[in-house]
Structure 1
Amino acid sequence: MPTTNAYTYTRVLMGSPIFLKLFVDNPPLVEEVYARIGELEDQLTVNRAHSEVMDINHAAGKHPVSVSPALFQLIKRATEVSLLAGSCFNLTIGPLVKRWKIGFQGHTVPPQEAIDALLPLTDPHQLVLDASNHSVFLPHAGMEIDLGAIAKGYIADVIKNLLYQRGVYHAIINLGGNVQTLGRPQNGPNQQWAVGLQKPFGDNGELIGIIHVVNKSVVTSGIYERYFVADDKLYHHILHPRTGYPLDNELFSVTIISDASIDGDIYTTLLYGMGVEKGREYLQAYPHIEAIFVTRDNKVIFSSDKQFTFTLLDNSYQLAG
């Protein structure tokens, strides 16, 4: 394969550096990509007073809000996943996320009575969707949608489709935890993209190993990303929707390898809530989705390895499946 020049770019959006690598010199396309990411962030964010999602939240307990067809479909998908039996994915968990503020200067544990008061406002069964009007209604004041658990995956898929539309079939974009690869690397001898698996609580870029993929999304979610410690106990950002407290199990992180990045977002949360044994069993029905579990006792466990190869770099971790 002939060697092609690589062009790399970085911008800070959504609170993270957004890394883009192309094999064509096309500055207008780069600007289009980053502008589209900015537009989607403006639409989906709950960290500003105004956005399309915040319009829904501001109208909680008052009236339905009609949204764009694309946002309606995203909310519909998030609702369906939230309503799965035993799901730890919950798009209405916003009030609890804001109360904890983990990753946003939050460093104290809310009192039990505060958690108890907010839990009734985080029931996805109460969300009212009207497909004919593309409207969304939160029936009780104080309810809030939070698409943070699914937004980056959705945006990565939008950008992948944008690149395809512009005739770009080989590229990589990293939205901070969501890595979407297109095709194969076009420079050098490597025929697969190399995506690092972060070492939990290690320095940034300190890796357990390398995941090698072609034309796949790689999404990792872990308890080391946003957390605080109080009274010698770690409190992380992955909240259990039924208790209101951080999930507590054997896992440090879950990585999903899939075609669509939105699936990576969804399944990292679902499988983190299930744990290793139930998560691996669950994925038997979804052969297009694969997972890598990193456990607190330093094991790296695969649900399968048909769509990727893995190179272990840190010998303090043990490949266990």
Structure 2
Amino acid sequence: MQPNGNYRTFAAVLTGGLFTTLGVGLFAFTIPLLSLDERVSGAWLGTAFAAYYLAKLLASPLAGMAADRFGPKPVLILATSAGCLIPLTYFTAPGLTSLYIVQAAMGLVSGLIRPVGLAALGGSASGPALSRRFAANAALFNAASFAGPIIGSLLYTTGVMGPVLIGLSVCLGLALAATLLLMPEDAATSLAPHPAESANPSPPRHRGKGAALLLAIGGRSLGIGLTTAFYPIVLADVLGRHGPVAAATFAAPGLATFLGLLITGRLTNKNPDMDRVVLGMFLSAGGLYALGECRALWQFITFGVILGLGAALSIPASMFFASTLSRRQGAVFGAANLASGLGFLLGPLLGGFAVHTLHSPAPALKAAAVIGALSCLPLLFHIFRDQFHWGRGMAWTSTGIAATLLGLLLVQALSPDFHPDDRDKDLYRFTDVAMGTVVKLTIEAPSRKSASLAARRTMTAMRALQQDLDHRNPRGSIGRINRAAGSSWVKTTPRAFALLDRALKFSAATDGAFDPTVGALTTSPFYYAMDESVARAKSGLVDYRMVLMDPPGNRVRLKKKGMALDLGGIAKGSIVDAAVALLKKHGVPSGIVEAGGDFRCFGDRDWNIGIRHPRNSAVFQTIPIRDKGVCGSGDYQQFVTPDKKGGPITRHHIIDPSTMDSAHESIGVTVVANTAELADALATTLFIMGPAKGTAFLKKYSPDSACIWFLPDGTVSYTDNFPQ
């Protein structure tokens, strides 16, 4: 191939990869949003993504072998053509089944394009030039991975998948055009033999090291897959932050990788070898392990950047090193993508097992870091032997010592200390995920074993209750009621019926300020960002008096089609109370159940609870609590700030049913009540009412409850009985 053809191959791979990544990214980002909008189960969403990754996993090695035999251009044309046409099949039979098929098919398309593109890149240059090309390709891939979800969110603003699928088809069409116009006909995935090797063509000089590299790549991907799934939970658990701060912190490793790739790609002046691969992967592993220990924002950012820089160092080096393993680049990069895909599949599984067993996502990050480092040890052995020129015995001994130390570190990571404080030897703390948020249990118990048993059973019960009460679960009581709106009666579980009955009675007491039928609006994703006319058009569907109850049969019916229940303003508190009751049943004398910042303290023990100011992360006030529920509401959790005449106004998730718009009497409230359910319902209601109406309502309805309001003008208002 001529030099000009090499540059055309480089341009074709970068351009085609850019548009493919944009398309797949914008589509994949909208699938979870659609699952919320359609109220399908998490199982559907999980299997859809599993089908995508499995298809990608199976296609990668086959694509590589096909590219070696037929050349990269025919395979890329086939893949991008299919990727362009498959999304359009949705319009012939719109529905979830069609989207499921499109999702799996795009896994096949991605599994074809990615390894073949890398193989073509591997055959287009050699030495430092090839390393720089791999760095540029990886940098562009990371940039497109950021841009794709942003484009997807814009295309899905109306909640319709049509524009998203058209966008996906257009992106793959542009990738097809780039392949047709830029990829040379004689582009190859096989390296020409070096003149010195032509007389005696022998196996590549890195004999025996391919498996070691593939193992290291799989270990790195395992860490990435686990981090993507569970790092946001760690951030929410430790920092208690949501919105832009959490998103920026989560994006720090990826941004560092992108910037690092730009730098390392320019500075490469030698053939990267195993040492750079191992150094970068160990650096990433160290950063990931430290993230499991972080307790402050600056720590998360610092070690996230270290993780990202390690990836920037290892990614182009590992790609280049892989390209030297064989002249058949398609087979090499097909195998590399297979190893990477296995890592992406196993990472979330490992994280789920660690969270289920240890009740905390932080050990999962540390375990993934150690496993990633262990996967690099075969490469480290080769470095000791071939680059340091140690004897085979010494290299094995050194590698064995490293493996032993990392093994001990893995045991330590998977055996966390549940004691939260040396002053409270009888307290054990657990963290898990339920109700779409981080749940923390602080339990008084005679031993860790008994505390762990109580915690495990409590978490299981909380998830079961969530499934029944969550409107997103179509098989739960609330989901079934919503799907049958305007048509038929639905038999519910006794617990769901009782909670809905209490919610409707509370709605009547508040004169509709609290109304679970606001779900007609709030069950749509990003409902608070919708045009105001859309919200107003649903006002005729919001009226708690149109919920019909049949106590003898535990049956419920919504009068009008389009109505929907959303118990988000009371269900979390009810589940927390149920968790407390279960812990007491297991003999736990005292403790705290916290779910997303809402508490229920129980037992003969005083607890100090910090109240955050809604406009900063500082603790505004600490209050003593004994056997009470504490819940809050604020405009800072889910919001947008569209520009309006006279300045921006925050539109957030707490809707005033009387106006069908975001409530603006308060910016945050915290309520103390006898139960978490009552505190939860009061927090939403008193946020909407504001201090004047809210204080009068409390005195009449629940004089034992107390509230603090944070107001838009920066002032604070208390009820007279608020704890001090």
TM over 0.5: yes
Does the aligned pair in 2 maintain the 1:199–1:207 contact within 8 Å?
Answer: yes
How far 1:155 sits from its partner (Å)? Answer: 0.4
| Counterpart in the other structure of 1:262 | 677
TM-score (norm 2): 0.39
Which residue number corresponds to residue 179 of structure 1? 599
- Provide the residue aligned with 2:342 in structure 1: none
Counterparts in 2 of 1:53-202, with a 5 A limit? Answer: 53-84=478-509, 86-99=511-524, 101-102=525-526, 108-112=529-533, 114-185=534-605, 192-202=606-616
Q: Which residue of 1 aligns with 2:477?
A: 52
Stretch moving more, 212-221 or 285-294 = 285-294
Q: 1:28 to 1:279 in 2, by over 3 A?
A: same
CA contact (8 A) 2:444 2:589 kept: no
8 Å contact kept, 2:468–2:476: yes
Specify whether residues 230 and 3 from structure 1 end up closer, same or farther in structure 2 by C-alpha distance, changes over 3 A only. closer
Q: Distance in 2 between matches of 1:23 and 1:111?
A: 49
Q: Once the 2 structures are TM-superposed, how far is the Cα of residue 3 of structure 1 from its aligned partner?
A: 5.0
Equivalent of residue 234 in structure 1, options 650, 653, 668: 650
Contact kept, 8 Å, 1:184 with 1:193, in 2: the verdict is: no
Query: Following the alignment from structure 2 to structure 1, what is the Cα–Cα distance between the partners of residues 612 and 546?
Result: 37
The structural deviation recorded for 1:224 is 1.2
- Equivalent residue for 1:215? 627
Q: SS at 1:288's partner residue?
A: coil
Out of 662, 666, 673, which is 1:246 matched to? 662
User: Contact (CA 8 Å) 1:236, 1:246: kept in 2 or not?
Assistant: yes
| Partner AA of 2:715 in structure 1 | K
The structure with more strand, counted as a fraction of residues: 1
Conserved in 2, the CA contact under 8 Å of 1:107 and 1:229? Answer: no
Distance 1:116 1:279 in 2: 25
CA deviation vs aligned residue, 1:61-99 (integer Å, no higher than 9, x gap): 111011111111111111112223533111111121134
Asked if 1 retains the 8 angstrom alpha-carbon contact of 2:437 and 2:595, the reply is yes
> 2:129 corresponds to which residue?
none
Task: Report % sequence identity.
Answer: 27
Quickly say closer, same or farther: Cα 1:258–1:111, change in 2 above 3 A: closer
The count of aligned residue pairs is 293
- Provide closer, same or farther for how the CA distance between residues 184 and 297 of structure 1 changes in structure 2, counting only shifts above 3 A: farther
Partner of 1:28: 453
More helix by share: 2
Distance 1:78 1:9 in 2: 30
AA matched with 2:659 = T
In structure 1, what residue type is equivalent to 2:565? I
Q: How many Å apart are 1:256 and its aligned residue?
A: 1.0
The question of whether the paired residues in 1 share the 8 Å contact of 2:512 and 2:544 is answered with no
Question: How far is the alpha carbon of 1:28 from its aligned partner?
Answer: 1.4
Give 1 or 2 for the bigger CA radius of gyration. Answer: 2
SS of residue matched to 2:517: coil
Q: What is the CA-CA distance between 1:266 and the residue it aligns to? A: 1.5
- Taking structure 1 as the reference length, the TM-score comes to 0.86
Contact 1:171 / 1:184 at 8 angstroms: preserved in 2?
A: no
Q: What secondary structure sits across from 1:38 in the alignment? A: helix
Task: Flag the 1:161–1:247 CA change in 2: closer, same or farther, 3 A.
Answer: same
Runs of at least 5 residues in structure 2 that lack an aligned partner in the other structure: 1-422
Gap runs ≥5 in structure 1: 186-191, 310-321
**In the alignment, residue 236 of structure 1 is paired with which amino acid?**
H
RMSD over aligned CA atoms reads 1.8
Indicate yes or no: 2:692 matched with 1:277.
yes
Q: Name 2:636's counterpart in structure 1.
A: 224
Q: Deviations over 1:165-207 (max 9, x none)?
A: 122121011111310101255xxxxxx212121121324xx32
Aligned-partner SS, 1:218: strand
Q: Is this contact kept in 2: 1:95–1:118, CA < 8 A?
A: yes
* Aligned CA distance change for structure 1 residues 258 and 108 (closer, same or farther; 3 Å): closer
Give per-residue Cα distances to partners, 1:251-299, cap 9 Å, x unaligned: 2211111111111011112222221122122222332111111222333
Give the number of the structure with larger relative contact order, counting CA–CA contacts within 8 Å between residues 6 or more apart: 1
Q: Kindly tell me: are residues 155 and 115 of structure 1, through their superposed partners in 2, closer, same or farther at Cα, counting changes over 3 Å?
A: same
Q: CA deviation at 1:208?
A: 1.2
Counterpart CA distance in 2 for 1:43 and 1:85 is 25
| Amino acid aligned to 1:68 | T
Instruction: Quote the Cα distance in structure 1 between the aligned partners of 2:509 and 2:673.
Output: 20
SS state at 1:291 partner: strand
AA aligned to 2:596 is G
Paired position in structure 1 for 2:709: 293
Provide Cα deviations, 1:134-174, integer angstroms capped at 9, x if missing partner: 10001211111111111111001111111121221210111
Deviations 1:95-130 (A, max 9, x none): 21134x34xxx5733241x22321111111111101
* Aligned-pair CA distance for 1:213: 0.7
Letter in 2 for 1:129: M
Counterpart residue identity of residue 209, structure 1: Q
1:40 corresponds to 2:465: yes
Q: Do the aligned partners of 1:87 and 1:273 also contact (CA within 8 Å) in 2? A: no
